[in-house]
Structure 1
């Protein structure tokens, strides 16, 4: 009994020989030499769309006469827009009518979305020449289409990556190394904001929503624009190629 216990104790404290079938642990090679750099870029783009409200209205004792007068001018506006290539889906028309005492007030407003600002100017000149003060123009609302903002974001991100690559290339030459391919590209931060174009400050004193007629309206259309600005910061990890690999 005592011999068996001694053999058990002696066996429990010693590791047996390694199994001939157990694979050896994999040998790790040298860790590749890496360099991590950041790249910054910023850019901007002008508005590419504008919404403009064109309003006509009249007040008459007869509701029929008032409606007919507004309809004729509205039809001329729509015809002028079509002649200048504005599609019907870019125009939204709203009508309103109400009575005060025995006078009927009829109004119609066509909100037009332009992608060609020069075309907008031509349309406004034609309407003002034909309708004069019987048509009023609201404050143009310049804005960015989703497509233009998407292009701005991509352009800024790619520029930041290019700046990071140039920085890594300069660093590798300084250290006498050969720059390899990128291992990881990560966009760390993006920012977007809006600002007025230069020259718009004097227009800020005018109240938004003020209707303008004649030459005052056309002068105002070329102002009050906003630019979209975006910035991007990326982090890129590159590998330095081994000199032995370079020889092969």
Structure 2
């Protein structure tokens, strides 16, 4: 996954954290306040960090269809099932689990003949293995089988990981910005006091890729967070 991030910062007083949404996009601003007493000055550093993470599709579904017309149900069933069994055997030889394939069969009558159509829907997580298997089926079964184009999509696990990663990346970016700003101001960065995710977005786009010249969909997620750190003045030295 590719990541792109940036951040904005402002030093805010510890009390009174009410501000409009556009104020979070302003440049650095320093304010000095006393939280408890004149000798106990506490200040906060507010950092707004953003990140974008892109995730290509991690699953593909391929539909393999076979059909036959015979004078009896037994003949048409045997004809179709032989090819279905060959397809399933090829899947096993390529390391595809039976749980990643589903089979459907349909029988109907066309005038004096019985017609059976069947389809095997296979889910792949290894796209290279998918291309190899599709080539084998087309080569061995030729015109007696129809291999449809792959349908790419994102698994629920992939989307969940994407949303976690983009939020973590935004927080990491905010923390790095806070370190740099605190060092610039001669302050010591304390622990985070509050982490808030202000905005999340997701959008889908298409990417050209794959040996089969397929269009691989990619989902991009963005996150904007606000992180509040306590600051300690480290410029005072004992002599």
TM-score with structure 1 setting the length: 0.76
Q: How does 1:58-207 map to 2 (within 5 A)?
A: 58-198=68-208
Q: Does 1:237 align with 2:225?
A: no
* Higher Rg of the two aligned structures: 1
Q: Check if 1:223 corresponds to 2:214.
A: yes
TM-aligned CA deviation for residue 244 of structure 1: 8.0
Q: Could you tell me which runs of 5 or more consecutive residues in structure 1 were left unpaired when the two chains were aligned.
A: 1-26, 201-217
Could you tell me the TM-score, scaled by structure 2's length?
A: 0.78
Aligned-pair CA distance for 1:135:
0.7
User: How many residue pairs are counted as aligned between the two chains?
Assistant: 202
Give 3-state SS (helix, strand or coil) of 2:96's partner.
Answer: coil
Residues in 1 aligned to 2:184 and 2:86: alpha-carbon distance in whole angstroms:
70
After TM superposition, give the deviation of residue 180 of structure 1 in Å: 1.6
Q: Hey, what does 2:31 align to over in structure 1?
A: none
Structure-to-structure mapping, 1:9-24, within 5 angstroms:
none
Runs (5+) with no aligned partner, structure 2 = 1-34
Q: Give the conservation status (yes or no) of the 8 Å contact 2:191–2:229.
A: yes
CA distance in 2, matches of 1:136, 1:245: 78
Query: Deviation digits for residues 173-213 of structure 1, max 9, x if unmatched?
Result: 2322222221111111111121111369xxxxxxxxxxxxx
- CA drift at 1:246: 8.0
Residue 45 of structure 1: CA displacement? 1.1
**Where is the helix percentage greater, Structure 1 or Structure 2?**
1
Can you list the C-alpha shifts for 1:83-138, whole angstroms capped at 9, x where unaligned? Answer: 11111111110000111211211111000011111111111111111101111022
Runs of 4+ in 1 over 3 A off after TM superposition: 27-31, 242-247
Question: Higher relative contact order by CA 8 Å / sep ≥ 6: 1 or 2?
Answer: 1
Task: Please report the RMSD computed on the Cα atoms of aligned residues, expressed in angstroms.
Answer: 2.1
